[in-house]
């Protein structure tokens, strides 16, 4: 046992430093560990090919069917493809624990659960931003998207907050499917709903009333509106409240997702429900 | 860091009970209660290697899951290093390692070393020491050189060794291993036993479960034989053997023995237990008796016109003790078994 004669120093689990390590370094690792699409053979068709197709498809269809410019659709879909990455990525980041059977090992650790959970958001937010930036690039080059130079920072902030809130609904979806299986079905439903209800291609005020209600409680709606207005030159003063509402919607979903996760952990101890073996 | 050694047991189970609510029937689902663990008590001393031995479904995993805070006991209590497994979960989790058998439970898409790095963070291993610690553990379990390969390409044995390394990352004081040798080849299983031994030599407390008698005997300081949710015997391997030391085992090879013939043997007053092992073409009857080898003639005549092959009379082994314990402690016979148990 020469190998193990020097036991390691350990950070007490209830300290801020331990939580930070789990959040920051642990969170980063969850991308490769849990994201089905992390490998190039899936990433490129799904998160580069798919968004490219989506952008051109809706720009062509939309400008043919309405009097809006291709740029209008390009902006909406460039933001929406980040949501796709965020929702699916985060659903996998939670639900795949079940697939790998790693939940018992994870739950047997003393790690701070908030830090574990929150850390998982990071790589998927970053990934969503990258996918979206790529799509914006396409829009600028091919579809006439123009951003007022003074508003780029505000548009970027709105985009970031939007990706966060979409990732949060992905987390909720992930937590649900820890119990109900088949998480990707739910993730599909959510991304389709965003496409339809949230002002990606059809402005919210042109939808029937009940659809507007749905759109307003889903993530994305306020964020994409903020990005659009910023692209037209609006500053933080005009769109700040939209960004704020989007952030609140995101936080609400994130809190709900975490609460469900904690609830599942508790009920698993009581009722042996998470296949914790 | 157990205060003054002997005072605090490393593990203490007090009348642990756990039931599961499930359903029976496909069409008309009726609720059903499974009594997986039905009142288990034992203590494990610091530095001891303690084995929970029992057949599939005996309640071993359920017991371990309660001790490592993943399942709440239905009643009873348990402490690990003095901390309550229901309420002091963080304190317990900091001090224990958990190794389970089988090939699930790893992040397959990343390398072995990334699996260890992630858990090193979850267990709060000081960042500046992670590299050295992980290297030492890879060395210990024999994965050095393979650590950068994705786990999805690992063999069953490699996965099992990775489970072990992961369970030891934070240098836990108490290590729980649930059937750690399941699926290992004989060489791997022997290496595993050496690793477990070396942990105990280094002062760790280990509780392991197994359904292999010889493994429990080769490794454990003390063995609790568990059947149908109860401990039916508790002691060292020698203690367990002593319980039937007076007996003789007559092994009779038969070809197509009938249930009636076996029943005739069982009913004989001088026969304590009969167990049957199915072979390809034949059956081996293991007859336990307190009468010595001269009972053999009578046994053969009781078998009537059954075709008989090789017959051997021998001393009992630990395996026989185990077989005897399990055979005589089916569900509601547990009480009788406890009377026969050794302490
Ligand atoms: N989650 C569960 N739900 C219902 N029954 C269970 C569950 N887990 C285990 N059991 C039952 O409890 C009993 C003990 O199981 P277990 O503790 O896994 O035994 P062992 O590990 O000794 O094989 C078995 O009858 C098993 O079928
Ligand atoms: Mg088991």
Give the ligand whose atoms come closest to the C-alpha of residue B102: 2
Please indicate, yes or no, if residue B63 is contained in any of the structural domains: yes
Q: Which helix (H) or strand (E) holds A64?
A: helix A50-65
Q: What b/e readout covers A168-189, taking b as 16+ CB neighbours within 10 angstroms?
A: bbbbbbbbbbbeeeebeebbee
Give the ligand whose atoms come closest to the C-alpha of residue B59: 1
Q: Rounded distance, CA B79 to CA B1, Å?
A: 15
B118 to A109: CB separation less than 8 angstroms, yes or no: no
For tokens 């400008």, the residue is A63
B61 to A277: CB separation less than 8 angstroms, yes or no: yes
Residue A17 or residue B276, greater confidence: A17
Q: Rounded distance, CA A69 to CA A76, Å?
A: 12
Q: What is the per-residue pLDDT across B260-313, written as a single tens digit (0 to 9) for each?
A: 999 999 888 888 888 888 888 899 999 988 877 788 888 999 998 889 999 998
Residue B2 in this model has a pLDDT that exceeds 80:
no
Residues B213 and B281 in one domain: no
CATH of the domain at B284: 3.30.70.260
pLDDT value for B119: 97
Q: Name the domain count of chain B.
A: 2
Residue B170 near residue A13 (C-beta atoms within 8 A): no
Which residue of chain B is at minimal alpha-carbon distance from A35? Answer: B109
3-state helix, strand, coil in chain B (%, to 5): 35, 30, 30
Per-chain mean pLDDT for chain A: 90
Residue B151 near residue B105 (C-beta atoms within 8 A): no
Q: Rounded distance, CA A248 to CA B146, Å?
A: 46
Residues B148 and B293 in one domain: no
Please indicate, yes or no, if residue B2 is contained in any of the structural domains: no
Token pair of B24 as six digits? 């029976």
Chain A CB contacts of B108 below 8 Å = 100
For the ranges A174-178, A252-256, B28-32, the maximum mean pLDDT occurs at A252-256
Give the minimum alpha-carbon distance from A262 to chain B in angstroms, rounded to a whole number: 13
Give the minimum alpha-carbon distance from B187 to chain A in angstroms, rounded to a whole number: 19
Average pLDDT rounded to a whole number, residues B187-215: 90
Residues B273 and B178 in one domain: no
Chain B CB contacts of A109 below 8 Å = 93, 119, 122-123
Residue B5 in this model has a pLDDT that exceeds 60:
no
Q: What is the per-residue pLDDT across A29-38, written as a single tens digit (0 to 9) for each?
A: 999 999 989 8
pLDDT value for B244: 72
pLDDT value for B243: 74
pLDDT value for B137: 94
Residue A108 main-chain phi, psi, to 5 deg: -80, -5
pLDDT value for B318: 79
A6 to B132: CB separation less than 8 angstroms, yes or no: yes
Residues B232 and B250 in one domain: no
Best residue in A96, A108, A123 to probe B by mutation, most B CBs within 10 Å? A108
Q: What is the per-residue pLDDT across B10-45, written as a single tens digit (0 to 9) for each?
A: 999 999 999 998 877 777 778 888 999 999 999 999
Show which of B211, B226, B241 is a domain's final residue: B241
Q: Which residue range forms the structural domain that includes residue B306?
A: 243-342
Please indicate, yes or no, if residue B38 is contained in any of the structural domains: yes
Please indicate, yes or no, if residue B284 is contained in any of the structural domains: yes
Residues B168 and B278 in one domain: no
Residues B251 and B227 in one domain: no
Residues B205 and B263 in one domain: no
Using pLDDT thresholds of 50, 70 and 90, give the confidence band for residue B333.
Answer: very low
Residue B337 in this model has a pLDDT that exceeds 50:
no
Residues B136 and B165 in one domain: yes
CA of B196 relative to ligand 2 center, distance in Å: 19
Q: Rounded distance, CA B161 to CA B184, Å?
A: 10
CA of B178 relative to ligand 1 center, distance in Å: 13
Please indicate, yes or no, if residue B276 is contained in any of the structural domains: yes
Show which of B223, B241, B259 is a domain's final residue: B241
Per-chain mean pLDDT for chain B: 88
Using pLDDT thresholds of 50, 70 and 90, give the confidence band for residue A5.
Answer: low
Residues B233 and B251 in one domain: no
Q: Rounded distance, CA A83 to CA A80, Å?
A: 5
Show which of B241, B265, B283 is a domain's final residue: B241
Please indicate, yes or no, if residue B297 is contained in any of the structural domains: yes
Average pLDDT rounded to a whole number, residues B68-96: 96
CATH of the domain at B54: 3.40.50.300
Residue B332 in this model has a pLDDT that exceeds 50:
no
Using pLDDT thresholds of 50, 70 and 90, give the confidence band for residue B338.
Answer: very low
Residues B309 and B284 in one domain: yes
Chain A CB contacts of B121 below 8 Å = 21-22, 25-26, 29, 111
CA-B178 nearest atom, ligand 1: 21
Q: Whose CA is nearest to atom 16 of ligand 1?
A: B59
Residue B9 in this model has a pLDDT that exceeds 80:
yes
ipTM for the predicted complex: 0.92
pLDDT value for B10: 96
Residues B25 and B172 in one domain: yes
Please indicate, yes or no, if residue B320 is contained in any of the structural domains: yes
Could you tell me which residues come within 8 angstroms of residue B332 by beta carbon, excluding any fewer than 6 positions away? none
Residue B336 in this model has a pLDDT that exceeds 90:
no
Q: State what percent of residues in chain B have pLDDT above 70.
A: 94
Please indicate, yes or no, if residue B56 is contained in any of the structural domains: yes
Q: What is the per-residue pLDDT across A121-168, written as a single tens digit (0 to 9) for each?
A: 999 999 999 999 999 999 999 988 888 888 899 999 999 999 999 999
Is A67 exposed, middle or buried, given 0-12, 13-18 or 19+ CB atoms closer than 10 A? exposed
End-to-end CA distance of chain B: 29
Sign of CA dihedral A255, A261, A265, A270: positive
Token pair of B225 as six digits? 């034989």
Residue B93 or residue A5, greater confidence: B93
Using pLDDT thresholds of 50, 70 and 90, give the confidence band for residue B330.
Answer: low
Weakest mean pLDDT among A176-190, B119-133, B240-254, B325-339? B325-339
pLDDT value for B331: 43
Residues B177 and B252 in one domain: no
């Amino acid at each position: 046992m020469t190998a193990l004669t020097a036991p390691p120093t350990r950070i007490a689990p209830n300290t801020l430093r331990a939580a930070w390590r789990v959040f920051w370094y642990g969170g980063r690792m969850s991308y490769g560990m849990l994201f089905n699409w992390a490998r190039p053979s899936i990433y490129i068709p799904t998160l580069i090919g798919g968004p490219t197709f989506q952008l051109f498809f809706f720009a062509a269809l939309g400008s043919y069917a309405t009097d809006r410019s291709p740029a209008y659709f390009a902006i909406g879909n460039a933001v929406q493809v980040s949501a796709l990455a965020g929702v699916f990525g985060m659903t996998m980041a939670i639900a795949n624990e079940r697939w790998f059977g790693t939940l018992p090992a994870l739950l047997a650790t003393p790690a701070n659960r908030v830090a574990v959970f929150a850390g998982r958001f990071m790589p998927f937010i970053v990934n969503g931003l990258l996918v979206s930036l790529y799509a914006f690039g396409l829009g600028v080059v091919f579809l006439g998207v123009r951003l007022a130079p003074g508003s780029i920072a505000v548009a970027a902030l709105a985009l970031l907050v939007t990706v966060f809130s979409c990732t949060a609904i992905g987390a909720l979806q992930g937590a649900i499917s820890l119990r109900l299986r088949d998480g990707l079905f739910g993730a599909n439903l959510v991304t389709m709903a965003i496409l339809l209800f949230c002002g990606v291609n059809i402005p919210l005020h042109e939808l029937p009333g009940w659809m507007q209600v749905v759109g307003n409680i889903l993530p994305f709606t306020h964020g994409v509106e903020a990005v659009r207005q910023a692209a037209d030159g609006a500053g933080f003063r005009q769109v700040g409240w939209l960004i704020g509402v989007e952030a609140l919607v995101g936080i609400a979903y994130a809190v709900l997702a975490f609460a469900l996760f904690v609830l599942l952990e508790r009920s698993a101890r009581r009722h042996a429900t998470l296949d914790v073996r | 860091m157990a205060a003054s050694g002997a005072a605090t047991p490393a593990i203490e189970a007090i009348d642990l009970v756990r039931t599961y609510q499930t359903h029976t029937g496909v069409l008309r689902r009726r609720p059903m209660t499974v009594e997986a663990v039905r009142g288990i008590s034992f203590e494990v001393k610091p530095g001891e290697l303690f084995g929970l031995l029992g057949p599939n479904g005996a309640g071993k995993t359920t017991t371990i899951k309660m001790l490592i805070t993943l399942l709440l006991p239905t009643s009873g209590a348990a402490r690990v290093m003095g901390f309550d497994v229901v309420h002091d979960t963080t304190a317990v989790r900091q001090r224990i390692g958990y190794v389970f058998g089988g090939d699930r439970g790893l992040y397959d898409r990343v390398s072995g070393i990334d699996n260890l790095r992630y858990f090193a963070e979850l267990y709060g291993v000081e960042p500046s020491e992670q590299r050295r610690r992980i290297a030492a553990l890879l060395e210990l379990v024999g994965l050095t050189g393979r650590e950068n390969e994705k786990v999805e390409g690992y063999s069953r044995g490699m996965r099992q060794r990775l489970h072990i390394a992961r369970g030891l990352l934070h240098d836990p004081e108490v290590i729980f291993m649930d059937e750690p040798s399941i699926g290992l080849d004989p060489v791997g299983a022997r290496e595993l036993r050496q690793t477990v031994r070396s942990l105990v030599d280094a002062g760790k407390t280990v509780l392991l479960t197994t359904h292999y008698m010889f493994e429990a005997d080769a490794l454990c300081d003390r063995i609790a034989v568990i059947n149908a949710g109860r401990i039916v015997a508790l002691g060292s391997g020698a203690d367990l053997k002593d319980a039937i030391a007076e007996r003789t085992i007559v092994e009779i090879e038969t070809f197509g023995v009938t249930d009636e013939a076996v029943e005739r043997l069982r009913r004989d007053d001088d026969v304590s237990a009969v167990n049957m092992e199915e072979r390809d073409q034949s059956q081996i009857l293991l007859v336990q008796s307190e009468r010595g080898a001269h009972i053999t003639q009578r046994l053969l005549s009781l078998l009537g016109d059954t075709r008989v092959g090789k017959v051997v009379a021998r001393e009992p082994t630990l395996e026989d003790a185990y077989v005897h314990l399990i055979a005589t402690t089916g569900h509601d016979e547990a009480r009788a078994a406890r009377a026969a148990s050794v302490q």
